[in-house]
């Protein structure tokens, strides 16, 4: 089949073990992505993800609802990304995704290549 449609009711939201206010719906298999990876991520107010450096995967973050705050580079620089914007982070760049708002944020995260070589977790920027 040359296309795949993913509807909201097909999403299987799972909490992150170490981050109870953060949830992920994996899209790679659901959308039959062959050369890339993708997830939807929800962050409750005040929740932050781990600051880390992806070894081989570039990642693009697109806020769908709410304003995403990213801490990028070394030393970390704070960036606010509103709905309608995006941030692309190359492999080897320190990054941390944070919800500094009073509402849940919803973000589409897209990565390439599809194969993951893991990430190195480093000290939080916040």
Residue for token digits 């606010």?
80
Task: Give domain status of residue 5, yes or no.
Answer: no
Residue 30 within a domain: yes
Give the span between the Cα atoms of 45 and 53, in whole angstroms. 24
Query: Domain range for residue 60?
Result: 24-121
Q: Does 111 reside within a domain?
A: yes
Report the CATH number at residue 80: 2.60.120.10
Structure confidence at residue 1 (pLDDT): 65
Query: Residue 49: is the preceding peptide bond cis (ω within 30°)?
Result: no
Between CA 89 and CA 61 the distance in angstroms is: 8
How many H-runs (helices) and E-runs (strands) does the chain carry? 0, 11
Question: What is the overall mean pLDDT for the chain?
Answer: 95
In a domain, 14, yes or no: no
* CA neighbor of 43 nearest in space, from 102, 86, 112: 102
- Token couple for 6: 């993913």
Of residues 58, 62, 64, 42, the one with CA closest to residue 95: 58
User: Is 56 inside a domain boundary?
Assistant: yes
pLDDT tens for 17-67 read: 888 899 999 999 999 999 999 999 999 999 999 999 999 999 999 999 999
Q: Are 120 and 64 in contact (CB under 8 A)?
A: no
Does residue 4 lie in a domain region?
A: no
Percent of the chain with pLDDT over 90: 90
- In this prediction the pTM is 0.93
Residue 126 counted as domain residue: no
Count how many domains the chain has: 1
Closest CA to 52 of 16, 84, 28: 16
Rounded CA gap, 90 and 41, in Å?
19
Q: Supply 23's token pair.
A: 């949830």
| Residue 57 covered by a domain | yes
């Amino acid at each position: 089949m040359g296309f795949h449609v993913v509807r909201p009711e097909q999403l299987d939201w799972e909490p992150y073990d170490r981050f109870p206010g953060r949830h992920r719906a994996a899209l790679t298999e659901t959308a039959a992505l062959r050369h890339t990876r993708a997830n939807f991520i929800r962050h409750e107010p005040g929740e932050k993800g781990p600051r880390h450096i992806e070894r081989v995967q570039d990642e693009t973050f697109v806020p769908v609802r709410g304003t995403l705050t990213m801490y990028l580079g070394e030393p970390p620089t704070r960036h606010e990304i509103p709905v309608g914007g995006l941030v692309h982070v190359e492999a080897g760049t320190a990054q941390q995704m944070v919800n500094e708002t009073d509402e849940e944020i919803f973000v589409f995260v897209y990565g390439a290549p599809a194969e993951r070589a893991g990430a190195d977790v480093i000290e939080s920027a916040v």
